[in-house]
Chains A and B, each alone.
Chain A
Amino acid sequence: MTETKVKDGIEAETVEGVRALEADKYKYGFDSDIEQEFAPKGLNEDIVRFISAKKDEPQWLLDWRLEAYRRWLTLDEPEWAMVDYPKIDFQDMYYYASPVKKKELESLDEVDPEILEVYNKLGISLKEQEVLAGVKGAPKVAVDAVFDSVSVVTTFKKELAKHGVIFCSFSEAVKDHPELVRKYMGSVVPVTDNYYATLNNAVFSDGSFVYIPPGVRCPMELSTYFRMNAQGTGQFERTLIIADEGSYVSYLEGCTAPMRDENQLHAAIVEIVALKDAEVKYSTVQNWWPGDSEGKGGVYNFVTKRADCRGENSKVSWTQVETGSAVTWKYPSCILRGDGSQGEFYSIAITNGHQQADTGTKMIHLGKDTKSRVISKGISAGKSNSTYRGLVSAHRKAKNARNFTQCDSLLIGDQCGAHTVPYIESGTPTAQFEHEATTSKLSDDQLFYCRQRGLSEEDAVALLVNGFCRDVLQELPMEFAVEAQKLVAISLEGSVG
């Protein structure tokens, strides 16, 4: 009974939340005036060298970048996704933007108050003491705040260090833990993986690095909050998470960007390595600026996320709530290499206005007795298009591989589209793959039924869509679930009537 009550509370709160936020559709669209330094516009070897020099990188990393850059020049932009956007001019953007840093920061007190204010506005407190002084037993969340190209601050580092957990910016990891970085970087997503991943390898700026030592259950949620601020700047961060044997970590990622007329490119890489018996839960709430109602502006979100379940019985679970970006091209995947390893993908992708999303997952079964589970909920409204694209494959050695995939699409209105493109490949007769898919339309009858009971039209849509997404929302950590429910409601405002 208690459990029911808690959930009641959340869902009622969603509806309250929608009402409170009705006025501003995209409340993260503000622009902040912060002194920043840029690399010159455009991309060439000198820019790559500039970025590397700015970050005071070792020679091996500069070589890595240059090799990637040269490789990138030989590649063509992928065109197979069901998205349509004007050709990107890679010379017309900045590849490095950083808030001007006076000196190395020792503590939060030294962070530019303007930047702290940006995060406060986003509802993210970077002040450890505020979290500590909160309600007793309130979960702590350590945050790495990435502002344009650089990580500005990471909280709770000391407390995490007591447990042997390393949580820092990628740049710091290069300096302080080069052996770990060199061992794992590029081992899940190869430099040559795809057009955007290769570009990222050449120009990546910063991101988060996580290492959980053997047998350690990370004592708090880790989270990275990405904020694109500078105009005309691409964001190319990379995240590397290593869960050593028998460890566990839950990691959250949030993203927003100011409203701008031009399109901004975000091409990130996330690599996860799970060793024997390790478990990683990775949750994303992606709310990049989606562009205005005419389809002008918005973020191009071309991201490569992949997990390698390298050890026996390891497990990686991706949960994503995708409401932002003008164009999304993203397939968080699991390579189930270790025997008995498990991969999960839970996704809610909402498109409204002129948004386009081509998203899904790849579950690649290599080891024996590997299992995967895919639950995808796509919601399309306005003139948007949403595509689920998923691959499930079993290698011939992947005896008894199992997959269950469920893909549900919900259409709101009659000008949007939903598409499901599953690819299933099995190299062994012992594999068992199940695929279920449904497409439904939010019906006028359901809306009327809810309104007859007293809900406004927008509250009714929010309730129905949250109901549709319930299986996935339940997979999110509690604090995020509430946020996500509100986000679901906000992103669908004005989608009916």
Chain B
Amino acid sequence: MLNITNLTATVDDGRKTILDGLSLSVPAGEVHAIMGPNGAGKSTLSYVVTGRDGYDVTGGSVTLDGEDLLDMDPEERAAKGVFLSFQYPLEIPGVPTLTFLRTAMNAQRKARGEEPISAPDFMKRARDVAKQLKIAPEMLRRPLNVGFSGGEKKRMEIFQMMVLEPRFIVMDETDSGLDVDALRVVADGVNALRAPDRGILIITHYQRLLDYIVPDQVHVLAGGAIRASGDAGFAKTLETEGYDAYA
């Protein structure tokens, strides 16, 4: 599904290399976790995959089902089904959450040559997901993320993700800011999205989230490349032993 080969990326006009020959493959139907120390390039990886400005890709490739993602604008990648759950979700003043999401969904559908979703169908889907995530309906009428707590913002990311039903999901530090109850609700949502035709990449500093969303593989990202990989149990080892061995 997602194939990253020998990816290198720099910032500051090439003065600083963040990703340095990173290779990673997430097959459809699997959940992979990326762990690593601060500054290892975890967030950069999520931004390069989704197409944020400010990073120069100097080598390597990123493909989704064989299609080159690096050539696409962020919105084209989104229409292909790439979704990023942001570490720091942005506030969108004056735009109600539902308006934002429906506009986004229809933009994606249009790019894919599909008809826009009808208002009743959209509302039904949004209400069902909100219920599942224990989000009060009033929240959805408020401007997206404005005045929301850190945990509420993260929950809103998962809400958008579940309504949009993307094909490939990148979750960047989703667990930060969530208390245990919220973590469980979020994890239930993500687990419900696990499907044979969907891939999920979880980027996290702590293994706590992985107790709830059990990954198929765990990778250590350090110094801009994958240094080691293992199964779900590997995350626990890393948590106790730290990343010093891979620095």
Measured CB to CB, the residues of A under 8 A from B are: 1, 4-5, 7-9, 11-12, 15, 443-446, 448-457, 459, 463-464, 466-471
Contact = CB atoms under 8 A, between A and B. Distances in A.
24 contacts: A4-B98, A5-B123, A7-B99, A8-B96, A8-B98, A8-B99, A8-B102, A12-B103, A444-B53, A448-B53, A449-B86, A449-B92, A450-B92, A452-B51, A453-B78, A453-B100, A453-B108, A454-B78, A454-B108, A455-B75, A463-B92, A463-B100, A463-B103, A467-B93
A178 B79 CA distance: 64
A1 B124 CA distance: 12
Contacts of A443: 90
A246 to B, nearest CB: 35
A471 B96 contact: no
Contacts of B74: 448, 451-452
Where chain A touches its partner, the secondary structure class is: helix
Given A7-B96, A12-B106, A455-B103, 8 more contacts: A4-B98, A4-B141, A12-B102, A15-B106, A449-B86, A449-B92, A452-B74, A470-B95
B65 to A, nearest CB: 18
Contacts of A466: 94-95
B91 to A, nearest CB: 8
A448 B52 contact: yes
Contacts of A1: 123
Contacts of B89: 449
Nearest to B84: A452
Nearest to B170: A452
Contacts of A8: 96, 98-99, 102, 119
B99 A451 contact: no
Nearest to A9: B119
A459 B79 CA distance: 14
Q: Which of A4, A448, A454 has the most CB of B within 10 A?
A: A454
B104 A469 contact: no
Nearest to B160: A453
Given A12-B103, A454-B107, A470 B78 contact: no
A315 to B, nearest CB: 26
A467 B54 CA distance: 26
B173 to A, nearest CB: 15
A11 B95 contact: yes
Given A8-B119, A449-B86, A454 B96 contact: no
B62 interface: no
Q: Which of A9, A445, A452 has the most CB of B within 10 A?
A: A452
Contacts of A451: 51, 73-75, 78
A450 B104 contact: yes
Nearest to B79: A454
Contact of A468 (B94, B98, B164): B94
Contacts of B79: 454
B102 A455 contact: no
Given A8-B99, A451-B74, A452-B84, A446 B106 contact: no
Contacts of A468: 93-94
A449 B94 CA distance: 15
Contacts of B86: 449, 452
